Amino acid sequence: MAGDATLPRKAALDLMGEVTEGKRLLSEVAPKRLARLTPPDRARAQRLVTTALRVMDRSDRALGPHLRKRPPPRILNILRLAVAEICELGEASHGVVNSAVTLARADKKTAGMAGLVNAVLRQVDPEGWPALPIPRLPKWLRKPLTDDFGKVAVAAMETAHYHAAPLDLSVKHDAGAVAQALGGSVTPTGSVRLADYGQVSTLPGFEAGEWWVQDAAAALPAMALAPAHGARVLDLCAAPGGKTLQLAAMGADVTALDISRTRMERVEENLARCGMSADLVVADALEYDAPPFDAILLDAPCSATGTIRRHPDLPQAKDGSDFPGLFELQAHLIDRALGLLKPGGRLVYCTCSLLIDEGEEQVRDALGRHPALALDLSALALPGVDPGWIGPEGLRLRPDYWAEIGGMDGFFIAAMVKA
């Protein structure tokens, strides 16, 4: 049995295996795996596993010269975690190596390779770490991104993925006052940005519902929809509710719909905390019917490849094979949204994706299917948005934009009007 000091490392190792071998996302497995740890151990395990996944490509390069052949997955993950701790997090090598050896010994199947773990880790040189290339995306994702954006852009995105994301807040009333109270800054588009933060729920203004967590890029679709005060607005894939809150704060009469009851509970909690309201509907958007709305925001389920800065497990857990099903669903959701929209009404379609299949191509296809649909590019000319980010189909946001102030999530946002 591993000793207590090894508990967070053991949890991080198990999670690494769930991602690299089980092909599960951390969001699916971490809550259960970490439930028994104390809050500090849980935070440490989370930090370890996300760091190890974020730098995994670089760790593999650091380990390569010291391994004659690829070791079994659990041993490889023990090595990757230890390299990340020593080289990226700057932990004292002695303690990390001892712990890695303990982890190898703790399992009958890996005990025989504890010596190898010790020998390999003693050869890894933290001094050489910064000279290794920035961690690369796996081929299945690198290839389509390179085809669409080019090598230079993809390298810039990889650099952005390597740097951890700041915490962005959408604010109900006064972003300047919240930024001052929390020691943050205001982004050009009006979100509050914190470089350093502890537990979010203990930050001033959380209990009072003055703000909610939402990446600056994710705050732009609701701004592009810009509903009039009192307008009937449908937030079609609403949970956990970042955009519902924005629309409600703008004074719209919001109906928030999501297929997931559990995720909808988060919308309910967030609305209650922020003292706002919306009609909540748990339903499949494809089967939902209601009198037509003045405006609709469709934040469709997608590959989430725009959020890799925050979710470094995604490139390792996914291989893109389940994405075509999402592309098809997105097209159906656009069609359904148009059926629920009043003539003259605005539809904002968005995805937190870097893939043009989920952005530009969806819009091109939708315009082909619906002759009465027109682009409304002027809605995307928002304060703080660089006009160069607006393409023929809509606003393309990339993680390497705003590199000097901490980046942003990848997103695609289109605004369209139904004739």
Ligand X SMILES: C[S@@+](CC[C@H](N)C(=O)[O-])C[C@H]1O[C@@H](n2cnc3c(N)ncnc32)[C@H](O)[C@@H]1O
Query: Site residues (CB under 6 A) for ligand X?
Result: 237-243, 257-260, 263, 284-286, 299, 301
Tell me the residue nearest to ligand X as measured from the CB.
237
Contacts of residue 378, Cβ cutoff 8 Å, sequence gap at least 6: none
Q: Nearer to ligand X by C-beta: 81 or 217? A: 217
Minimum Å distance from CB 395 to ligand X? Answer: 16
Q: Nearer to ligand X by C-beta: 16 or 355? A: 355
Minimum Å distance from CB 360 to ligand X? Answer: 18
Q: Nearer to ligand X by C-beta: 71 or 399? A: 399
Q: Nearer to ligand X by C-beta: 83 or 300? A: 300
Q: How far apart are CA 61 and CA 305, in angstroms?
A: 24
On whether the CB atoms of residues 216 and 195 are closer than 8 A, the answer is: no
Q: How far apart are CA 141 and CA 107, in angstroms?
A: 34
Minimum Å distance from CB 68 to ligand X? Answer: 44
Of 237, 274, 350, 352, the catalytic one is: 352
Residue type, 340: L
Going 308 to 311 to 312 to 314, the CA torsion angle's sign is: negative
Minimum Å distance from CB 285 to ligand X? Answer: 3
Strands in 125-215 per DSSP E: 167-171, 185-186, 192-194, 211-213
> By C-alpha distance, which of 315, 312, 311 is closest to 323?
315
On whether the CB atoms of residues 106 and 4 are closer than 8 A, the answer is: no
On whether the CB atoms of residues 247 and 235 are closer than 8 A, the answer is: yes
Minimum Å distance from CB 299 to ligand X? Answer: 3
Other CB atoms within 10 Å distance of the CB of residue 296: 28
352 is catalytic: yes
Minimum Å distance from CB 349 to ligand X? Answer: 12
Q: Which residues of 19-29 are buried (b: 16+ CB within 10 A; e: fewer)?
A: bbeeebbbeeb
Q: Nearer to ligand X by C-beta: 181 or 282? A: 282
Q: Nearer to ligand X by C-beta: 6 or 260? A: 260
Q: How far apart are CA 242 and CA 236, in angstroms?
A: 13
Q: What are the residue numbers of the active site?
A: 352
